[in-house]
Structure 1
Amino acid sequence: MEKSEQAIRTTFFSLFGNIGLALTKGIAGYFGNSYALIADAIESTADVFATVLVLFGLKYSTRPPDENHPYGHGKAEALVTFAVVGFLVISATVIAYESIQHIQTPHKIPEAYTLIILAVIIAIKEIFYRIVSKKSDDVNSTSLKADAWHHRSDAITSLMAFIGISIALFMGPGYETADDWAALLASGFIIYNAWLIFRPALGEILDEHVYDDMVIKIRQVAQTVPGVIDTEKCHVRKAGMMYLVDLHLTVDGTISVTQGHDIAHHLKDTLQHEIPEIHDVLIHVEPDHLQQS
């Protein structure tokens, strides 16, 4: 199965999971007098829209290169990640605002059964996070990693709600707002997670050099190709789930242009075979001055 198909299937898994959990948390929060649980439902609802964006980004970013986009459409995935981060920030802001409003408004202590619901939700969301996160590593998807962190932030929000409701139930009257404070604290965790997602996506858009391990592997593979004397500059940039490489290749300075060209093509084919994540390699051939002399 191609990486894009794996990523899209995983996104559908997230989508339907978020829809089910958003409904469950919203209903339980309303009838159980827990704003922390309602806040959790708000975030899950935002997750639904964010996952739809991820799905769109994955489908668009896997389009083949065309006349207007000779390097492909992979950067769209990082742009969608920015939008996903925006959903996280918006949901955290709404949760923080509503939490403050509820702290200032007297209300009933949440029902005890909401703790059971939250415990189940925490477990489910952590499982979702692990599944989606592993798949994002397998397919090398930035936006899928962002979607995974949505599940983790959701689990954190639910954990905060669990702690807040437990305090309210244990301490009794006077502590009704404990779950609201928990929701407020959770909004801070969501903002922090948003930054963790945003930073790598920004680096991808700016072609930041963060792929030292791949550069080492490229040089190692290059040394196995006959005719390759050395490799000099090696720049790697990420576009969607694939990589684009610019490489300076050193060959014997006394051979013909045709021979140098053939070595470069052999190197490119070998790199793409040994490192399937590489979408394209631009090779600049340079003569070895020691061989010329």
Structure 2
Amino acid sequence: MDRMKLNAHPRLNLTAGIASVTVASILVALKLWALAETGALSVAASLADSALDLMISAAGLAAIAYAARPPDDDHRFGHSSAEDLAALGQALFITVSSVVIAVAALRRLALPDDGRIEAEGAGIAVMLISVALTMGLVLWQGHVARQTGNRVVQADRLHYLGDLIPNLGAIVALIASSRFGLPQVDSVVALLAAAILLRGALRIGRGAWDALMDRSADPGTIAGIENIVAGWPGVHGHHDLKTRTSGSRLFVNLHIELDGTQTLDQAHGIAAGLKRAILEAYPQADVIIHKDPLR
């Protein structure tokens, strides 16, 4: 995939982002009503997850909208670090939500008469609608991702695929309460959902922190870049390979060793070809190559 393909259909990418925000907004509204009607903690867990989805989808839409915006005089490397700052806020939101849900679930398990699930049918209907809307969104995002290769859309799609689990869990809990008189299932499902949310918070927070601290790219990416450089014609060696991530961007800085007797035009051609090869393998990269004479 090359950079042209990545940005070939900006409007198509925007439709995926707008659809994601729209679906998340509808789900938050529906689940707020369902929570008020049922009082089910599993619905509360699903509501918290949908609220997180809305935040992530909004950030993703902003990232898509500003993807083609060039760096300005005050931000020479672009504005992608804003994604990492937003991710830290999202991680905090998930952590607080998961703790609140877990405490409420444990309290209800200890005091089974404290809080009863009501209007299970309405809750089940809302959750079924949620599953249907989520599946429709995932299908559309998959279509857009295949057409454009946009990584923001791909990541958002994977997130919504994971959201189907707590939605289905809430349906199971409501059915267990309605048909079998087992309201405890609601608390168990809520605990599991809280654990999933907390795990996601740790993952998102760690990734955002690493990016803000200019941590190097993952070892696989570094090895991949080194393999491209090592096999490139005219390059006799390389050193000082430095990488860092910022949001969805990958910054690469390296020195290559070239024959010092060749012309500047020849040296430039080798470096330009190498840069294109790295960008083809890593379309989100920003690559700077320094040319040093072979000693």
TM-score scaled by length of structure 2: 0.74
Secondary structure of 1:167 counterpart: helix
Letter in 2 for 1:55: L
Q: CA deviation at 1:87?
A: 2.7
Q: Identity of aligned pairs, percent?
A: 21
Report what 2:206 is aligned to.
199
Find the aligned partners of 2:37 and 2:159 in 1 and give their Cα distance. 25
Report what 2:150 is aligned to.
139
Structure 1 window deviating more from structure 2 (125-134 vs 161-170): it is 125-134
Report what 2:175 is aligned to.
166
Q: CA deviation at 1:271?
A: 3.5
RMSD: 3.8
User: Residues 167 and 72 from structure 1, CA distance in 2 versus in 1: closer, same or farther, beyond 3 angstroms?
Assistant: same
Find the aligned partners of 2:48 and 2:241 in 1 and give their Cα distance. 46
Q: Confirm or deny: 8 A CA contact 2:120 2:175 kept in the other structure.
A: no
User: Residues 215 and 139 from structure 1, CA distance in 2 versus in 1: closer, same or farther, beyond 3 angstroms?
Assistant: farther
Task: Considering Cα pairs closer than 8 Å and 6+ residues apart, tell me whether 1 or 2 has the greater RCO.
Answer: 2
User: Residues 78 and 126 from structure 1, CA distance in 2 versus in 1: closer, same or farther, beyond 3 angstroms?
Assistant: farther
Structure 2 unaligned residues grouped into runs of 5+: 1-5
Find the aligned partners of 1:224 and 1:56 in 2 and give their Cα distance. 37
User: Residues 80 and 149 from structure 1, CA distance in 2 versus in 1: closer, same or farther, beyond 3 angstroms?
Assistant: farther
Q: CA deviation at 1:12?
A: 1.6
Find the aligned partners of 1:177 and 1:119 in 2 and give their Cα distance. 21
| Superposed counterparts of 1:1-293, under 5 Å | 2=7, 5=10, 7-32=13-38, 34-59=40-65, 63-100=69-106, 102-103=108-109, 104=111, 105-108=114-117, 110-112=119-121, 114-125=123-134, 128=137, 132=141, 135=145, 138-141=149-152, 145=155, 147-148=156-157, 151-152=160-161, 154-172=163-181, 175-205=182-212, 206-210=214-218, 212-213=220-221, 215-216=223-224, 219-220=227-228, 223-225=231-233, 227-255=234-262, 258=264, 261-263=267-269, 265-267=271-273, 270-271=276-277, 274-275=280-281, 277=283, 279-289=285-295
User: Residues 107 and 212 from structure 1, CA distance in 2 versus in 1: closer, same or farther, beyond 3 angstroms?
Assistant: closer
Secondary structure of 2:16 counterpart: helix
Find the aligned partners of 1:40 and 1:191 in 2 and give their Cα distance. 13
Find the aligned partners of 1:236 and 1:140 in 2 and give their Cα distance. 19
User: Residues 178 and 276 from structure 1, CA distance in 2 versus in 1: closer, same or farther, beyond 3 angstroms?
Assistant: closer
Q: CA deviation at 1:244?
A: 2.1
What's the CA shift string for 1:92-146, capped at 9, x where partnerless? 23433444555541425552464354344335435545765884993234x973x
Report which of the two structures shows the higher radius of gyration computed on alpha carbons: 1
Letter in 2 for 1:164: A
User: Residues 278 and 42 from structure 1, CA distance in 2 versus in 1: closer, same or farther, beyond 3 angstroms?
Assistant: closer
User: Residues 110 and 178 from structure 1, CA distance in 2 versus in 1: closer, same or farther, beyond 3 angstroms?
Assistant: farther
What's the CA shift string for 1:180-214, capped at 9, x where partnerless? 33223311111112223333333333332315346
Secondary structure of 1:37 counterpart: helix
Q: Confirm or deny: 8 A CA contact 2:215 2:245 kept in the other structure.
A: yes
When the two structures are aligned, how many residues end up with a matched partner?
283
Q: Confirm or deny: 8 A CA contact 1:3 1:139 kept in the other structure.
A: no
Structure 1 window deviating more from structure 2 (272-281 vs 200-209): it is 272-281
Structure 1 unaligned residues grouped into runs of 5+: none
Letter in 1 for 2:131: I
